[in-house]
Amino acid sequence: MSEAIPNDVSQPAAEARGFDWKWIVIGACVAFTVYIAVIPLGFLLWQSFRTPQTAAVDSVFTIANYATAYGTSDTVRLFWTSIQFASGTALLAFLLGTTLAWMNERTNTPFKSVFFALSVIPLIIPGILFTVAWILLASPQIGIINLVLQGWFGLAEPPFDIYSLRGMIWVDGLHYSPMAFLLMSASFRAMDPSLEESATMSGANIFQVARRVTLRLTWPAIVATILILFVRAIESFEVPALLGLPAGIEVFTSAIYQAVHRYPSQVGLASAYAVALLLITTGGVFWVSKLSGRGSQYATMTGKGFRPRQIDLGRWRWATAAIFIVYFLLIVVLPFAVLLWSSFQRFYAVPSMEALGNLTLDSYRFILHYPNLTRTIWNSVALAVSTATIVMLVTSVICWVVVKTSIRGRWLLDGVASLPIVFPGLVLGLAIMVFYLNVDVGVYGTIWIMLIAYVTRFMPYGLRYTTTSMVQIHKELEESAAMSGASWSTTFRRIILPLLKPGLLAGWIYVMIVSIRELSTSILLYSPDTQVISIVIWELWENGQYVELSALGVLFIIALFVLVLVAQWLGRKYGVKE
């Protein structure tokens, strides 16, 4: 049937009616989104046509950046490496995340409730800490895994080299797999199990059901998830910088980073590289927008209640439990253990009986007396909570317009709101910095410019969370509220938001955590007053203070863990009854 929202209010109503905030709320959200998403893009494009500005020479128009960026055969190699790295990472993360989500939501694997509670832990380990930990685990020289395996099997060569494309994909894929897990879990949970049951009744075994029904029905979520993972991988910075550059493996982000850090800074060249990223990701966003536009074809959450059903794996459930445990070892226990070990050393040493004698708390003392620690923590927390709240509320309105109305050009709105996804954090920070230096509205150097940057950067991810849930809300659930006499804003507040709650909550937790560990945008926008925790970690890395870094990392991870536990507890308390 047609999409039935009477979207034209230009004609006067027959009688006086209560004031409805509908168009004010939608208008404000759209204006905010367009402003926040388009400004950095404009500056990025503008800068890509400018020569570098120095004290002596003014910036002028040029196309030389594009000639340099795309005029050599190196670019083909750069492009190919980036695609390999991003696809490999996205596929590894997706396969891991989906398998785990399916096992967790749809099977009777033992201890899975424990696993779900633990599943957010890997998400809270910042990329830089995770990368450093894997360097300590699998570098050819000091990697503990390499040393242990060489000792056991008498190998001459270290079996793993983390400084390689495969190493990069391994670390980044592992790092992003919890994200795939969360996205796919939400989608599995929203699906009506009778659809799977009817396949079982048709004679399909559990693998056929998973492959031919479950996966097909979650197709929009799958495409959206892979897209997000791909983009996250292609713009990820820490892994290519720490693992790729020492081995001479260059991708777009590290090329941009190097262009910016050259003297004089090649902002134009960096922007020219970023334009290529923009083209790749715009295609992906357009595709997802078309998919979710099909609307009720994929509506799987109806007004009829259902009780989730689980597949009995029989003896195989011990195998799936083992997968959970191995995964958890790789992604949490080993990285955290190696950081913990390092944090008790005075200088880094490979674990041994001798090193065991040198344990010390010096590095923790150093961290606790770090200047402005309280201020730094407060900045991080305030920024994370405000960013997550603003992002989830604004994107739920945007997503409603995109998914639930038939307004012309709504895919464009989706595109605009998803636009910041194409900005590597570094370039976004730079664009915002230059803009607010030129347009002085008093936010430069304050915490507000960080908030603007964070909201811009994480809006697309909030939007994906809300879209995944929104497409699964049957439109009659809204229509029946309208027939009950509820205005649009009441319907939104009392029906849409509560039904979105699982998605909103998951998105809120996610945005909060990625905000608190955000590094590459902050690094260009912070001032001594607005320093955040991840900046302190970066400074320690730059100074080579690895054991102090480990100590701060351990404290940071524990604090984030407690934060997430509180968030989850709140979620259970105020979340949707299941």
Which residues sit at the interface with other proteins, rule CB under 8 A? 1-2, 4, 6, 8-9, 11-15, 17-18, 293-294, 301-307, 474, 476-477, 479-488, 490-491, 494-495, 498-499, 501, 576-577
Q: Which is nearer to other proteins, 16 or 55 (CB)?
A: 16
The smaller minimum CB distance to other proteins, of residues 306 and 366, is found at 306
Q: Checking phi first, is residue 565 left (phi over 0); if not, alpha (psi -120 to 50) or beta?
A: alpha
Count each helix (H run) and each strand (E run) in the chain, helices first: 29, 0
CA distance 533 to 544: 17
Closest CA to 82 of 216, 231, 296: 231
Cα–Cα distance, 79 to 228 (Å, whole number): 19
CA-to-CA distance for 72 and 240, rounded, in angstroms?
21
What is the smallest separation between the CB atom of 18 and other proteins, expressed in angstroms?
Answer: 6
- The least distance separating other proteins from the CB of residue 239, rounded to whole angstroms, comes to 40
Taking the complex as a whole, how short is the minimal distance between the CB of residue 305 and other proteins, in angstroms?
3
Identity of the residue, 197 or 362, whose beta carbon is nearer to other proteins in the bound complex:
197
As measured in angstroms, the least distance from the Cβ of 401 to other proteins is: 17
Pick the closer one to other proteins by CB: 22 or 50. 22
CB closer to other proteins, 125 vs 500: 500
Minimum distance of other proteins from residue 521's CB (angstroms): 36
Q: Give the three-state DSSP class for 305.
A: coil
Torsion-angle region of 445 (φ positive above 0: left; ψ -120 to 50: alpha; else: beta) = left
CB of 303 to other proteins, least distance (A): 4
Q: Which is nearer to other proteins, 258 or 487 (CB)?
A: 487
Q: Least separation, in Å, of the C-beta of 7 and other proteins? A: 8
Closest to 406 measured CA to CA, from 475, 456, 348, 463: 475
CB of 110 to other proteins, least distance (A): 27
**Residue ranges of E strands in 135-237:** none
Closest contact distance (angstroms) between CB of 574 and other proteins is 11
Output b/e per residue, 387-396; b: 16+ Cβ within 10 A.
bbebbbbbbb
Residue type, 239: V
From residue 492, alpha-carbon distances to 6, 146, 319 in Å are: 16, 55, 44
CB nearer to other proteins: give 18 or 544: 18
DSSP state of 72: S
Query: Least CB distance from residue 57 to other proteins, whole Å?
Result: 54
Q: Which is nearer to other proteins, 1 or 55 (CB)?
A: 1
Which string of b and e fits 424-452 if b means at least 16 CB within 10 Å? Answer: bbbbbbbbbbbbbeeeeeebbbebebbbb
**Minimum distance from CB of 406 to other proteins (Å)?**
8
Distance CA 26, CA 400 (A): 9
Q: How far is the CB of 407 from other proteins (least distance, A)?
A: 13
Q: How many CB atoms neighbour CB 453 within 10 A?
A: 28
Q: Which is nearer to other proteins, 205 or 302 (CB)?
A: 302
Of 303 and 371, CB closest to other proteins:
303
Shortest separation between residue 451's beta carbon and other proteins, angstroms? 31
Number of Cβ within a 10 Å radius of residue 529? 11
Give 11 or 438: the residue with its C-beta nearer to other proteins: 11
CA distance 171 to 569: 30
Query: Six-digit token pair at 98?
Result: 């989906």
CB 231 within 8 A of CB 281: yes
CB of 43 to other proteins, least distance (A): 36
Specify the DSSP class assigned to residue 423. S
Q: Pick the closer one to other proteins by CB: 375 or 501.
A: 501
Amino acid found at 23? W
CB nearer other proteins, residue 65 or residue 491: 491
Q: How far apart are CA 5 and CA 176, in angstroms?
A: 38
At residue 473, φ and ψ (nearest 5 deg) are: -95, 120
| Alpha carbon distance, N-terminus to C-terminus of the chain | 31
Q: Check whether the bond before 126 is cis (ω within 30° of 0).
A: no
DSSP assignment of 148-168: HHHHHHT-SS-S--SSSHHHH
CA distance 169 to 136: 17
Minimum CB separation of residue 573 from other proteins in Å reads 14
What are the Cα distances from residue 172, in Å, to 90, 232, 340? 9, 10, 21
Neighbours of 76 (CB within 10 A): 10
Instruction: At 246, give phi and psi (nearest 5°).
Output: -60, -25
